[in-house]
Structure formats: C-alpha cells, structure tokens
C-alpha cells in the first residue's frame, strides 16, 4: 500500500504563533516529512536558517535530502531530549533561536509503513521504535515485562479501561508463543476486549500505550522543555503540538510554572519584577477546527500551546 503523505497539523496557527522573522534562526525538532518545515522555509530569506531534528532514520534521510538542496537547512539526527547536545554539535550558541516547534507523536509514514511495526491495521514485525537502532522493540519488552507493569502502562498511557484483561491475555499467550507481529498482538487484544467501541479498533489504545512507553515519549518531553526555553533568544517563541492528554498536561504545567517565575513563600509580598519569569504565555490553548479534523483525522486530538521567552518586544500575536 502506498504511504500516505503527512498532512501538517495546525499549520496556519503554528506559523502565526512562530511569527517568523525572515532572517531568523528556527528549529523544527520533529521534522517528520517536513510539512511544517517547508512552510517555515517559504518565510525565510537566504540569510534565515532552519535546524531540523528527528530520531527516525527515514525522516532524517528526507531531512538530509532537503538540506543538500537548501543551504539554509541543517539536519541533525537524534532524540530531542538531547537538544542541548544536538545544538552544541553544530555550534549553535545558547540563547540564539527565534522559534522552535515540537509536533509530537508519530508521522503518517511511520504508521503506514507496516515494517515499522506501529500499525494494528497492517501486519509487520512488532517493533514501534522511532529509532530502530536504539532501545528495545515492543516484542522484546513484552516478552519479559510483568503483568502488573503491563497493566499500568496500558491503563495510564492508553487510558484503556480493559487494561487488566488485556495484560492477562498477553501474558497467558506469551507463555505458549512469543509475540512477533503486530497482527498477532492486535488479535489477542481484540479477543480480550469485551465491548468494542464503534469505529475504533479494539487495539487502538493498547498500541498507543506501547508506542508511547517504548519511545519514552513523556520522558522526552519533560526533559526537553526547560532546555528549549533556555536555548531561545529573548522574544523567541516555543510552540508545542501534543496529541495526548498527558503530553498536554506536561506542557501546560511547565508553561504555567515558567511563566510564574521564581517560587516564593505564599505569605511574602513580592513585586512582579522580582519573580523573574522565563516566559510569557501567548494566546490560549489552540484546538483544530471542525473543518481541519474532517480533512485530517489525525488532527482530532491535537492541542497547541505557545510561550515567548521574556526579554523580547511586547507580546503581539
């Protein structure tokens, strides 16, 4: 089956909030297939620069192809939790970035390519790593994880109410034969789920949970946010698009705390200028329009938040 094109989510809102300066320095920390990047590039002059990062080797191949044809682009392979080291590796000074984008989760090509092992719809090896050269595959992890841990992961990251039944079925089945393929796991989950939600495959939530766990998606996000703010220039903007309520909660709390400034005892009066916040919040939570969701079902659960590093010009949207 041909791989579907990745349609960038919340594109117009992202570009408006990034407020691109034509000679600026930007980072797209989740390049994917460059949907957002190509629009950023259209707004940059020959002096502008765009650093693109991805941990997926196929995404990085696409990024390198772009950088070979466009001197403004630098492609860097790696996980964004290592943002500081990745930027140091190409000599980007601290506090120099005018805008940074994180469009979290997986891309359509990752989901659509059966060989990557993300899909319960297309059979492939049970892998789900964005970077297949690092860490354990789902097949390896699932072969030795305790039932209890499996319940916790499926319940928390999948918000799956049948996590116990699913975990029990997985552990029972692996005692007779190891899981090797996505179809194999999907059929065991399907059989364990007593009520099927119309229009949704019964393995959807379990696959999401395993993918998020195996790629440490929440840990990556928690680690990168302070570094991202640190690396912004004064007035630079950070835009994060998340797809899971736990991701959005991490972003929301971090932005809230960073915009509040230094902690102080509740009974001690302090002036606003003594609080020393790192950022200010720009606008409210952005959700996709009904039209965008109809055109691009992947946008359905997207949520965008933006902050600006303090020290720039007055906040203009």
Under the criterion CB under 6 A, does residue 308 sit at the interface with ligand SAM?
no
Helix runs in the chain, H state only: 11-18, 35-42, 57-69, 83-89, 108-112, 138-144, 147-158, 163-174, 182-192, 204-214, 217-231, 245-260, 272-275, 290-295
> By C-alpha distance, which of 28, 172, 193, 203 is closest to 99?
28
User: Shortest distance, CB of residue 250 to ligand SAM, whole angstroms?
Assistant: 13
Residue 146 Cβ, how far from ligand SAM at the closest point, in Å?
26
Cβ proximity to ligand SAM, 154 vs 299, nearer residue: 299
| Pick 128 or 189: Cβ nearer ligand SAM | 128
x/- track of binding to ligand SAM for residues 208-247 (CB under 6 A) = ------------x---------------------------
Q: Which stretch binds ligand SAM (CB under 6 A): 51-59, 92-100, 138-146, 259-267?
A: 51-59
Instruction: Tell me how crowded residue 281 is: count the other CB atoms within 10 A of its CB.
Output: 17
DSSP-assigned letters across all residues of 193-254: -SSPPTTS-TTHHHHHHHHHHHTTHHHHHHHHHHHHHHHEEEEEEEEEEE-SHHHHHHHHHH
Q: Which stretch binds ligand SAM (CB under 6 A): 27-35, 120-128, 180-188, 229-237?
A: 27-35
Helix, strand, or coil here: 82? helix
State the minimum distance, in angstroms, from the CB of residue 57 to ligand SAM.
9
Q: Which residues contact 285 (CB under 8 A, 6 or more apart)?
A: 252, 303, 304, 305
Q: Looking at beta carbons only, is 219 or 261 nearer to ligand SAM?
A: 219
Binders of ligand SAM among 79-118, rule CB under 6 A? 79-81, 103, 105-107
List 27, 97, 128, 130, residue binding ligand SAM (CB under 6 A): 130
Q: Which residues bind ligand SAM (CB under 6 A)?
A: 6, 8, 30, 32-36, 53-56, 59, 79-81, 103, 105-107, 130, 220
């Amino acid at each position: 089956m041909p791989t579907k094109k990745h349609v960038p989510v919340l594109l117009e809102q992202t570009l408006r909030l990034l407020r691109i300066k034509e000679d600026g320095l930007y980072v797209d920390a989740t390049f994917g297939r460059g949907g957002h990047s190509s629009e950023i590039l259209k707004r940059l002059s020959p002096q502008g620069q765009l650093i693109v990062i991805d941990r997926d080797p196929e995404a990085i191949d696409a990024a390198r192809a772009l950088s070979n044809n466009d001197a403004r682009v630098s492609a860097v392979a790696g996980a964004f939790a290592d943002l500081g080291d990745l930027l140091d590796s190409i000599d980007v000074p601290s506090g120099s970035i005018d805008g940074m984008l994180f469009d979290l989760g997986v891309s359509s090509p990752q989901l659509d390519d059966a060989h990557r092992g993300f899909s319960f719809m297309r059979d492939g090896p049970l892998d789900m790593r964005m970077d297949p050269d690092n860490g354990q595959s789902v097949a390896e992890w699932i072969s030795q994880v305790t039932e209890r841990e499996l319940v916790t992961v499926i319940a928390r990251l999948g918000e799956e109410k049948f996590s116990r039944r699913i975990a029990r079925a997985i552990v029972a089945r692996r005692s007779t034969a190891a899981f090797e393929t996505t179809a194999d796991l999907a059929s065991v989950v399907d059989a364990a789920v007593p009520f099927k939600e119309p229009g949704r495959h019964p393995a959807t939530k379990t696959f999401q949970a395993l993918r998020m766990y195996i790629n440490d998606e929440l840990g990556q996000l928690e680690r990168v946010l302070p570094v991202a703010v640190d690396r912004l220039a004064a007035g630079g903007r950070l835009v994060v698009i998340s797809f899971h309520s736990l991701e959005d909660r991490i972003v929301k709390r971090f932005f809230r705390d960073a915009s509040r400034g230094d902690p102080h005892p509740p009974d001690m009066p302090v002036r606003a200028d003594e609080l020393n916040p790192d950022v200010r919040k720009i606008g409210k939570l952005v959700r996709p329009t009904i039209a965008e969701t109809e055109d691009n079902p992947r946008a359905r659960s997207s949520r965008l938040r933006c902050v600006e590093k303090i020290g720039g010009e007055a906040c203009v949207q």
